[in-house]
Structure 1
Amino acid sequence: MYPVLRDVDTMMMGRFRPLLGILLAVIATTLVACGGGPASKAPPTYTPAVLQQVELYSPGVANLRDRFPELAGYIQKEDWVNVQSFIHGPMGELRARVNRLAATLLPKDKEKAQALAQELYVHLERLDEAAANRQQVIAGQEYRNALDDFDSFLSLVPTFQ
């Protein structure tokens, strides 16, 4: 081979060797980062034990939801004593029951359920305050908002046949 070409070839390889090493390191890192694990993970599902808990807690929460029309009747009649008694009586168990049920939900639903539950509590507190101040319009609005949040919460709970 010609001596001049060999010197050029050696000189070029000397310059590109560090860049080639860096390029190979980047490719190896990318392959390890992207290739670790199965291509698609199965979404989390309810285990039979968790479904049993959901089935245990759901009826108590659903029963409280079924009693909401009583509260609407008291608001309509401006029966403020019974509105407040109802909120502190039968609905007094609502927070514990809803929290227990929310804790059994899948992670993607749990966070949303807990936020809806918190909104529900806020609406009931405002409804209680409106009843104390005899404000029927505000009481009606808070009732409706509480009912909407309650229904949204229940839509996250798995149903049983």
Structure 2
Amino acid sequence: MGRFRPVLGILLAIVATCLVACGGPAAKIPTTYTPEILQQVELYSPGVASLRDRFPELEGYIQTKDWVNVQSFIHGPMGELRARMNRLAATLLTKDQPQAQSLAKELYVHLERLDEAAANGQQVLAGQEYRNALDDFDSFLALVPTFQ
């Protein structure tokens, strides 16, 4: 019995530590947009939306097989798209963030494939990747609250 006393004391200390560490109040996760969150969203969304408005330019370059401008466009104006989308995704509701981050990643993958297709002069593949990128971009923007 004397041997178990120190072990029992350690075991009680571990249990007490776990109860104190895990027993605190749960963090509140916002389920709706607060004015502070909306202010952050409103700060980042115009930069992302403005890049979406430029996508038809890219389509025109693909249709005319202007591969140099396709690649320049992807590395130029679209080059900062990933950072902007990730910043905006971080301001969305917690439940929407994983989907937004996934869509941003997929969009970037499509742009990389489009860049590769342009380097190889593959118009059909470039067109498919453009449409996939556009679909992902639109799905991403659908998660962002709109402002009137």
TM-score range (shorter-chain normalised) is: 0.7 to 0.9
Aligned-partner Cα distance in 1 for 2:31–2:45 = 20
Give CA deviations for 1:119-156 in whole Å, capped at 9, x if unaligned.
00000000000000000000000000000000000000
Q: Per the alignment, in what secondary structure is the counterpart of residue 108 of structure 1? A: coil
Q: List aligned pairs for 1:23-102, cutoff 5 A.
A: 44-102=31-89
Q: Displacement of 1:66 after TM fit? A: 0.2
TM-score by length of 1: 0.73
Q: Per the alignment, in what secondary structure is the counterpart of residue 62 of structure 2? A: helix
1:144 aligns with 2:131: yes
Aligned-partner Cα distance in 1 for 2:122–2:58 = 15
Conserved 8 A contact 2:103-2:139: yes
Aligned-partner Cα distance in 2 for 1:121–1:96 = 10
Aligned-partner Cα distance in 1 for 2:122–2:69 = 14
Q: List aligned pairs for 1:112-123, cutoff 5 A.
A: 112-123=99-110
Gaps of 5+ in 1: 1-41
Aligned-partner Cα distance in 1 for 2:104–2:88 = 10
Give 1:86's aligned amino acid.
Answer: F
Q: Which ranges of 4 or more aligned residues in structure 1 deviate by more than 6 Å?
A: none
Q: Displacement of 1:107 after TM fit? A: 1.1
Aligned residues: 121
Using the aligned pairs only, state the percent identity: 85
Q: Displacement of 1:157 after TM fit? A: 0.2
TM-score by length of 2: 0.79
Give CA deviations for 1:57-111 in whole Å, capped at 9, x if unaligned.
1110000000000000000000000000000000001011000000000111111
Give CA deviations for 1:17-68 in whole Å, capped at 9, x if unaligned.
xxxxxxxxxxxxxxxxxxxxxxxxx971112111001001111000000000
Counterpart position of 2:16: none
Give 2:75's aligned amino acid.
Answer: H
- CA radius of gyration, larger in: 1
Give 2:106's aligned amino acid.
Answer: E
Counterpart position of 1:153: 140
Give 1:58's aligned amino acid.
Answer: S
Aligned-partner Cα distance in 2 for 1:74–1:44 = 42
Counterpart position of 1:38: none
Gaps of 5+ in 2: 1-28
